[in-house]
Amino acid sequence: MQEQEGAALPPRPATPLDGGGEPVSPGPGTPPARPAARRRGGHPLARFLVRRILMAVLLAWGITLVTFVLTNLVPGDPVAANLGQRALGDPAIVAQWRADHGLDKPLWEQYLLHLQGLTHGDLGMSQQSHRPVSEDLAEFVPATLELAGAAILVSLVLGVAFGVVAALRRDRLPDHLLRVLSLIGISVPTFWLALVAFYVFFYRLQVTPGSGRVDPALGLAPGVTGLQTVDALLAGRWDIFVSAAGHLVTPALVLALYTIGLLTRFTRSAVLEVLGQDYVRAARAKGLPGRVILFRYVLRSALVPIITVAGLAFGSLLSGTVLVEAIFAWPGVGQYAYKSATTLDLPAVMGVGLVVGIVYLVINLIVDVLYGIIDPRVRLQ
């Protein structure tokens, strides 16, 4: 009878085993067991960063290969573009020029020499400026970064604000006006808008400065970062700062108009999607203030697609400033790339392509890290 009662008892729950094989319960001071994934490979964020950095290195190599191949497939003779027709009649001059720039070697050998130079930070010698490409890029890239950075900052502030207002005032007058504004920003060509803005605000109204980064009479601030607004503040030159900020306003707003329209539309759709979630309804039912619901619940969930669009927009601003820089005489990498392409300056073109590609890689890495900071679900994955 006792055996039948013992057989009817439920099995004991599985517990850690002691040295003799008997189940024992952990003591009150025993620390909880760590997850198996944490014990095997360390912190998930560290593993994620290592994987992304390795992938970025592989993609950077792919960028060098694609840039080299496409640059050498462009129709045209760099010898004719740089020496002119009269020098082409002398075979000795042509052969010497090709030998000086390494164009007399096979393409695979030229690519290996290009990779070898990249490992040492050597991007080659520019055929138009007769200086190292790295020095040219160090001079022109900060100007484009300053212009694109100002444009994306204005775009984020206005685009996100307009999108939130449009979502909260759905199908009302502010929503209709902001949707029309975003449609105009996306549809109007940037180069046409730059021409109109330069003609109206500088030539006709004379309310904005002319072309360039600062007034010629003031000169440039002492170079520290290459960003004139930042360098002027570091040097304590408020006159240069005011001039640099004034020259930056019009081209930055012209570049930002398209991105403002894009972010307004994406923010509106993302916020509307989050507003319909159950946890937002529950927060409202609990009586939480609207400000808390908006910033703690709605915007935090909607920021993931917004950050994605903002990262891609910043990369496109860096690579798409050619016409705006030409109209406003902005000495940036867009002007440098245009002149290099028209003269078939192959090392300069490959250097610009590599810099723009690395910028995209860095932006994508930053966006992925921000995903984990903003959205806890990404951290758990």
What mean pLDDT, rounded, does the chain reach? 79
301, with CB counted inside 10 A (0-12, 13-18, 19+), is buried
**How far is Cα 251 from Cα 214, in angstroms, rounded to an integer?**
13
Which has the higher per-residue pLDDT, 334 or 83? 334
Rounded Cα–Cα distance for residues 188 and 180 (Å): 12
On the question of pLDDT at 8 being above 50, the answer is no
Residue 112 has pLDDT above 80, yes or no: yes
3-state DSSP: the chain helix, strand, coil percent, rounded to 5? 70, 0, 25
| CA 78/CA 84 separation, integer angstroms | 10
Res. 302: pLDDT tops 80: yes
Least trusted range by pLDDT, from 81-85, 99-103, 354-358: 81-85
Burial annotation 92-127 (CB, 10 A radius, 16+ → b, else e): eebeebeeebebeeeeeebbeebeebbeeeebbbbb
Q: What is the mean pLDDT of residues 75-93?
A: 66
Question: 340: closest CA among 192, 124, 108, 99?
Answer: 124
Q: Picking from 50-64, 196-210, 312-326, 363-377, which range would have the lowest pLDDT averaged per residue? A: 363-377
Percent of the chain with pLDDT over 70: 81
Residue 42, pLDDT score: 56
pLDDT band at 285 (very low <50, low <70, confident <90, very high): confident
Is the pLDDT higher at 218 or at 101? 218
- What confidence score (pLDDT) does residue 157 get? 92
pLDDT reported for residue 77: 66
pLDDT of residue 90: 67
Q: How confident is the model at residue 375 (pLDDT cuts 50, 70, 90)?
A: low
* Residue 343 predicted with pLDDT over 90: no
**pLDDT for position 18:** 44
* pLDDT of residue 13 exceeding 70: no
